[in-house]
Structure 1
Amino acid sequence: MSSAPETVSPRIVVIGAGIVGCSLADELTARGLHDVTVLEQGPLPAPGGSTSHAPGLVFQTSPSKTLTAFARYTVEKFSALEADGLPCFHPVGGLELATTPERWADLHRKAGWAGSWGVRGELVSAARCKELWPLVDESMILGGFHTPDDGLARAVLASRAQMHRAQERGARFLERHTVTGIDQQGGRVTGVVTDRGTFPATHVVSAAGFWGPVIGRMAGVDVPLLPLAHQYARTGPLPQLAGANDPRTEASKPILRFQDRDLYFREHTDRLGIGSYAHRPLPVDPFAVLPYDEARARSLDMPSSLPFTEEDWAPSWRDCQELMPALRDATVDEGFNGVFSFTPDGMPVLGESRALRGFWLAEAVWVTHSAGVAKAVAEWIVDGHATVDLHECDVHRFEGAQRSPAYVRERGAQQFVEVYDVVHPLQPMEHPRPLRVSPFHARQQELGASFLEGGGWERAHWYEANAPLVEGAESRDPWAARHWSPVVAAEARHTRERVALYDMTPLRRLEVTGPGALAFLQRMTTNNVAKKPGAVTYTLLLDEKGGIRSDLTVARLAADRFQVGANSPADQVWLERHAPDDVQIRDLTSGTCCIGVWGPLARDLVQPLTRDDFSHEGFGYFRAKETYLGHVPVTAMRLSYVGELGWELYTTADLGLRLWDTLWAAGQECGVIAAGRSAFNSLRLEKGYRAWGTDMTEEHNPYEAGLGFAVRLDHGDFLGRAALEHLPPPRRVLTPLLLDDPSAVVLGKEPVYAAGDAGAPSGYVTSAAYGYTLGRCVAYAWLPPLPAGSAVHIEYFGEKVPATVAEEPLFDPKMVRIRR
């Protein structure tokens, strides 16, 4: 979502000279942009934001591949920086302890992520944990996860080193400049107003940390983050650490996580620093944070360092003393409540604002990810795209219902609570729910729907009403059995054998209209959408380098009217950024709904409800009709993402319940059931249908993702076409795997090892689900090109699970069932 290419050299103003702002100035100037001004309200080099008090822990491993990439780059960059003769990164390593079976299992899962994303790490015994950290009580520990390349970032030193380097390239850093306004004209930023003058700008980047909402309000831009205070304390000198550490480097032992009690530890020469997430959330109003000088006048070290709340600390101190008996005779000499930022989903907020062109956010970024974020944002500004996928961090990822102050506050506080929790990938949030419901919600409740949540939507994953259809008993390991039911198998089989209704309302629907609509969609997407009205086309949105921004279904309903099935709010923003004046784009999602009617008896269900011909000859595959089913006007599209005959049926939200009831009544003779998202996911993987954001992202091109069929190089120029014409042969491809053991399952993000791997994995799993038609778990993975039949193994909680590369599509390769 970059701005149009600059006709003159861009003038960039960065707000905030913490670790993100300094890193960004360094990255921008390294790319040849020298007109960069960094404005800071406090004194340099330690202006009093989160950077100034950060303990500097860098644990690289995350369930997010993107966050791990950010952290790896931060380690790489800071390891090469020095200030005052000291390295800006100290690779003491990291050690995470397990004191419960659940945590020990989770560390096995974390070791899998490390393998998938290329981070060195190993699971170690309790005895080895004791060797690495002699102060711990070995009897409490089941084992640990040791990552030797993690360590301590000296945030203030790294800021200074990058600031000096950026200054040598022409950047200006101005301290004690308080931003008071953002100038704009014609929907575009033009400058930054401070108490010491105005600074013209073509791009403004808010890297203000927990002051982000304050800057955002000046620009008329929502910044969905919540500042929270987090306790950090230092002990007095400990005899056990006397002489153990060089005062200049401060630490020699790995940074330590005791996540079962929400604690972490690092050395400060002969003292311990201890951070706690165990206390109640302590929200901070960013508009009420004191300026630097006023904070100092009130005996605060800095604006982001609030008074220590002893009552919150007491339980954590007891937990520290239990883990480290040596602390029972120790005291806490000092402590503070440090302020930093959380978002509703715990990820950073990055990108150019939809509301104000040229106004960028680089917010809710921790030191761990700072240099990686700065590099990505600099690439985004300069090149129009980053080299890593950023969809999880995109400022536009949140739905409107997820941007209210109440939602941001409630979900941000919960992210603090869950920082060190063992969180299942399907675990839904508990509050605020329900937030968004389809018109069918009451009927789904009557059928005993088990709801999970996504994008604020209640999504039925299975229905207890289908329990009588369960055949036999399927056993799963405890982790895979969470947020799952054997009913899923019954719903998948019933869809293959009869017919089922699926609530597809959360799918994003856009309407693209206007005289230029056809030419615009031709220019923006990879396939040929210049077909007669009634045609539906599967196509892709690419960025300039040929990476997959999204996949779309485009239905041409009239000469100048299209319905586009998209993935996220960012898709609409991307299209709007490129749309000419004669094209209008409107989000239809909230005012409409959709039911998928799929299965071999789907035609038997819908044909009696309409006078239109729903035969294969009268209503072919990938066709659309506007018609009526009973009393309900619908847009019917003959699409199937489960590999069976059927239609997606769209109507307005006010008629949704009537549509459900009409189909339900008509389907009784066919044995219709309602089926959930878990069955849907199983069926779509059997057909090899990709899920954007999981199976492929901007880091992948269509050919390596197995989507070359959606690219028509002969339909004219389109965004990303030039890049596709010069691609080398793929070194990795999205590969279907079948697990050899019929009882085995994996869930996604696990490392995959091919024959001949010398320790490092060949790739990683994207999507996985049990294929009930095939009798095997299906997993898709990014791997080097391997012939069908090749043996691999997937590491699942430390176990090697054999699998075999398969030919795709795994189910109904001739498409007989869909085209009947």
Structure 2
Amino acid sequence: MAGPRVVIIGAGVVGAALADELSSRGWTELTVVDQGPLPATGGSSSHAPGLVFQANPSKTMTELARYTVEKLSTLDVDGQPCFLQVGGLEVATTPERLTDLRRRHGWLTSWGVEGRLVDPDACLALHPLLNRDRVLGGLLVPTDGLAKAVLAVEAQLRAARARGVRLLERHEVLDIRTEADDTTDGDRVTAVVTDRGEIPADLVVCCAGIWGPKVARMVGMSLPLTPLAHQLAWTGPLPALAGQTEEAVRPILRHQDADLYYRDRHDRLGIGFYGHRPMPVSADDIAPVDSSPDMPSVLRFTADDFAEAWTETQSLLPATRDAKVEEGINGLFSFTTDGMPLLGPSPDVKGFWVAEAVWVTHSAGVGRAMAEWLVDGHCSSFDLHACDVNRFEPHQLAPAYVLARDCRNFVEVYDILHPLEPAGAPRPLRTSPFHVRERELGAFFLEASGWERPQWYEANEPLLDRWDIPVPGDWAARMWSPIVGAEALATREGVALYDMSALKRLEVSGRGAAAFLQRLTTSDVDKSVGSVTYTLMLDENGGIRSDITVARLARRRFQIGANGNLDLDWFTRHLPADGSVAVRDITAGTCCIGLWGPKAREVLQPLADADFSNEGLRYFRARSAHIGAVPVTALRLSYVGELGWELYTGADMGLKLWDTLWEAAQPYGGIAAGRGAFNSLRLEKGYRAFGTDMGHEHDPYEAGLGFAVKTGKGDFIGRAALERRAADVRRRLTCLTIDDPGAVVMGKEPVYDGDRPVGYVTSAAYGYTIGKGIAYAWLPAELATPGRALDIGYFDLRIAAVVAEEPLFDPGMRRLRGLAGDAR
């Protein structure tokens, strides 16, 4: 098949990789267009230093990098290799960095990449230029190396051209033509307009890199991307490297304590520096190729900004003391607000796609991922939910927000960041109606989708007199307080208010709403008014796109508890063309309190004008009511495993709802509780979190969510693939418990069976009710047997863990259903 007419804008490492991958899958009606000369077009790829380090806290990013290494290692241009696999060495010069290298080694082990920790002598043997007195240890990844970006572009474009792909250099894109699309309310692409004519197109993929925001605006799309200058300098010849004929013989080197990296170039060294001030540039201000003296992505080197880097380099690598910095650039690279790429289709213009904010490290992997997505309708090799360009909330596209967060990510690119590290300015952005009360109670806030969300409340410190809360190790004790444990136990014994306003809320309505939701979900949601259903949404490959709750509030109106903007995007893309269904984001205009605990009914019933008894409102049912003067929609759900309700009202009445419930809860010892307690309680109950415990790469049976699949209801997206996958479950999301109260892990740690790494941790917390640490982990199915002894790699420790039956708390569901009895 020739495939649709595709125009790829940008012939850097991403555009070249995509052209190669698409054409290898039979799509040959491809045109690659770039304003510069091929293969060095003048963008970031043309000056990229080429360092490929695979260690990353994101499994997806590591896998994209691994594929890039594997592919580029097979490519050459007239005998010149496109990848020099010299290995990668990260060194520590502080105890904190040495500890962090152990964490990074854990990521590599979790994601299946070879790496090993090495002592200072081994570091010196690997890289003899190092100052032995400065180095405390290192992390070696033998498969890392140097990507020759321009050669990689040429090799992949040659392969694409041989399959019939058309390459157009020196064609500046001026506009993208669109016309009304008969199947949607939006437009669709028809052509790319260049200074040398129009190119007809059914699909346009923007791989323009630092020009990406400018190109995307041609179809009215905002990209949260900022080009920032990054310093790269080259020394003159080093006597210690005299006679080195090969371009690189030593591992690429990172000195992240000082925001530095190094690479060989024959008898010279390249020095990259992230420690200088952020230097953002607007995509509109980047010079055209023909008017730039060197290349548009290269700005004048600012020597003053590099002074600190040179001083530190001479200390770490004494051989450089006899050399000088002979050349340097401030090269432009793309940064995003969360450090992840921007991949996927436009939400408004059919046929316009982006593959942006991708560095050389991940380029070939992204090329493959995008090719699969375009050809098959989904990506089967990588879980791209964290890279999807449609993941952002509206405020995250505001220019001021984008600039501030992109600059922060530049500053923090080599920093040691805790997984719960709160975001910096601009904050606060989104606050619930309860925020004023939460501040009065001394809330410690973290951020969720821009919302200020309490992690715990200092006002609950007196609760510590009632319980002896175990203190975890140093890393887990950051962004933590023993109050978290007290709030969890207080919830189990009494009643607590949880701010659930950060939960995404959608309204689906219209005459076709029920059929629409039946098609998109795995459960039967076409039930009576007042029903609430936990269900999944799948892609065509049977992978989990999201888990949601669907509350039928009227015959033609449903409220959805969603995970984020990707769910809204998925719903919108699948709307029927006949206008029979409308989807609306109601999050900003509403708020939610979770009122949970064994005394929740004693608090709520006297306030209500409706029956909230077990018979009056059963588990997983919804109703409208008044709580005092406040109209609410009450859903009898509980993600902490206790009796209670999610209570929704308009934002205008939110504070009144809080005050009403708070006053009524005080005689019962009611408290406000934060996300730290919530996470502990939900893991005791075995509830999964999308994006943490599971994603697109997993199916319901692997994830322990087969109960949410109702094959008898008829067809739904992903059903056919799911039926195939159900017969071959090779891995399972598994509950592990840890006896040592101080050994609380954080997630992403490797799991070992003896000395063999077999899986990785997803969510983890201490279970204050059960008195054990809890870690959910992906394991081979044959190891997911209760009682099986395993180990978790945590920094330089091995923590003993045991596979446990789940749920750990209330297996008979008595607490949730408001029945008496011991839940443990």
Fold conserved (TM > 0.5)? yes
Given residue 255 of structure 1, which amino acid in structure 2 is its aligned partner? I
Q: Report the Cα offset of residue 724 of structure 1.
A: 1.4
1:747 match: 746
Pairing 1:108-507 to 2, within 5 Å after superposition? 108-186=102-180, 187-246=187-246, 250-296=247-293, 301-387=294-380, 388-470=382-464, 471-472=467-468, 474-507=470-503
Identity of aligned residues (%): 63
Give CA-to-partner distance per residue, 1:529-587, whole Å, 9 cap, x none: 11110000000000001000000100001110000111010111111111112100000
Deviations 1:137-160, CA, capped at 9 Å, x for gaps: 111111000111100000000100
Q: 1:104 aligns with which of 67, 73, 98?
A: 98
Residue in structure 1 matched with residue 773 of structure 2 by the alignment: 777
Code of the residue aligned with 2:114 in structure 1: it is: R
Name the residue aligned to 2:733.
Answer: 734
DSSP-derived class of the 1:180 partner: strand
The alignment covers a number of residue pairs equal to: 804
Contact residue 512 and residue 580 of structure 2 kept, 8 A: yes
Q: Measure how far apart 1:204 and its partner are.
A: 0.4
Alignment of 1:683-702 (within 5 A): 683-702=681-700
SS in 1 for 2:133: helix
Native 8 Å contact 2:238 2:267 kept in 1: yes
Shift of 1:692: 0.3
Structure 2 Cα separation of the partners of residues 195 and 202 of structure 1: 20
1:680 is matched with 678
Offset of 1:131 from its aligned partner? Answer: 0.7
Query: Hey, what does 1:42 align to over in structure 2?
Result: 36
Q: Secondary structure at the match of 1:257?
A: strand
In structure 1, distance between residues paired with 2:480 and 2:567 = 31
Structure 1, residues 209-258: CA drift from partner, whole Å, max 9, x if none? 01001101111111110000000000000110112342xxx001000001
**Counterpart position of 1:522:** 518
Contact 1:793–1:801, Cα closer than 8 Å, also in 2: yes
Distance 2:125 2:96 in 1: 23
2:388 counterpart letter in structure 1: D
Residue 617 in structure 1 maps to residue 615 in structure 2: yes
Within 2, Cα distance between the matches of 1:94 and 1:31?
32
Distance between the aligned counterparts of 1:564 and 1:289, measured in 2? 43
C-alpha distance in 2 between matches for 1:583 and 1:164: 47
CA-to-aligned-CA distance 1:317-375 (integer Å, 9 cap, x gap) = 00001111121121011001000100001110000010211110100000000000111
Give, as a single letter, the amino acid of the residue that structure 1 aligns with 2:85.
P
Of the candidates 707, 712, 715, which is equivalent to residue 714 of structure 1?
Answer: 712
Task: State how far apart, in whole Å, the 1-side matches of 2:503 and 2:245 are.
Answer: 56
Alignment partner of 2:278: what SS? coil
Counterparts of 2:284 and 2:424, CA distance in 1 = 29
* Structure 2 SS opposite 1:342: strand
User: How far off is 1:84 after superposition?
Assistant: 2.4
What are structure 1's unaligned runs of at least 5 residues? 1-5
Answering whether residue 73 of structure 2 is matched by residue 64 of structure 1, we say no
2:152 is matched by which residue type in structure 1? A
- 1:340 is paired with a residue whose SS is strand
Q: Which amino acid aligns with 2:648?
A: Y
Residue 760 of structure 1 deviates from its aligned partner by 4.1
Q: Distance in 1 between matches of 2:265 and 2:758?
A: 39
Q: Note if contact 1:231-1:276 (Cα within 8 Å) is conserved in structure 2.
A: yes
Q: Structure 2 length normalisation: TM-score? A: 0.97
In the TM superposition, 1:620-699 aligns within 5 A as 620-699=618-697
Q: In the alignment, does 2:573 pair up with 1:577? A: yes
For residues 171 and 740 of structure 1, the distance between their equivalents in structure 2, rounded to whole angstroms, comes to: 60
What are the Cα deviations for residues 426-455 of structure 1, in whole angstroms up to 9, with x where unaligned? 001121110111110000000000001121
Query: Alignment partner of 1:735: what SS?
Result: strand
2-structure distance, mates of 1:208, 1:671: 59
Give the distance between the partners of 1:155 and 1:555, measured in 2 at CA.
51
Q: Using a 3 Å threshold, how does the CA distance of structure 1 residues 473 and 496 change in structure 2: closer, same or farther?
A: closer
RMSD between superposed Cα atoms in Å: 0.9
Q: CA deviation at 1:286?
A: 1.1
Maintained 8 Å contact 2:542/2:718: yes
Matched residue type, 2:228: L
Task: State the shift of 1:729 in Å.
Answer: 2.3
**Structure 1 residue 474 displacement after superposition:** 2.6
Residue aligned with 1:217, SS = helix
Amino acid at match of 1:192: V
Structure 1 residue 611, shift from structure 2 partner: 2.0
CA drift of 1:475 comes to 2.4
Report if the CA contact (8 A) 1:112-1:798 is conserved. Answer: no
Which residue identity is paired with 2:528?
A: K
- How far apart are residue 31 of structure 1 and its match? 0.8
Question: 2:282, 2:622 → 1: CA distance?
Answer: 51
| Aligned residue identity for 2:366 | V
Report if aligned partners of 2:342, 2:356 keep a CA contact under 8 Å in 1: yes
The alpha carbon displacement at 1:473 in A equals: 5.0
CA distance, structure 1, for counterparts of residue 739 and residue 457 of structure 2: 29
- Contact (CA 8 Å) 2:227, 2:332: kept in 1 or not? yes
> Secondary structure of the residue that 1:445 maps to in structure 2?
helix
Secondary structure of 1:698's aligned partner: coil
**Distance between the aligned counterparts of 2:674 and 2:730, measured in 1?**
36
Tell me, in whole angstroms, the C-alpha distance in 2 between the residues paired with 1:690 and 1:116.
20
8 Å CA contact 1:115, 1:760 repeated in 2: no
Retained in 2: the 8 A contact 1:743–1:776?
no
What residue number does 1:3 align with?
none
Does structure 1 conserve the Cα–Cα contact (< 8 Å) formed by 2:173 and 2:195? yes
Partner letter of residue 774 of structure 2?
Answer: V
CA deviation map 1:687-731 (0-9, x unaligned): 000000110101000001000000000001111111111123211
Q: CA–CA distance in 1 between the matches of 2:687 and 2:237?
A: 60
Secondary structure of the residue aligned to 1:321 is helix
Give 2:822's aligned residue: none
Distance 2:471 2:650 in 1: 41
Superimposed CA distance per residue, residues 487-535 of structure 1 (whole angstroms, 9 cap, x where no aligned partner)? 0000000000000000000100000000000011011100001111000
Aligned-partner Cα distance in 2 for 1:25–1:743: 51
- With normalisation by structure 1, the TM-score equals 0.97
Q: For structure 2, which runs of at least 5 residues remain unmatched after alignment?
A: 181-186, 819-824
Match of 2:183 in 1: none
Give the 3-state SS of the residue equivalent to 1:290 in structure 2: coil
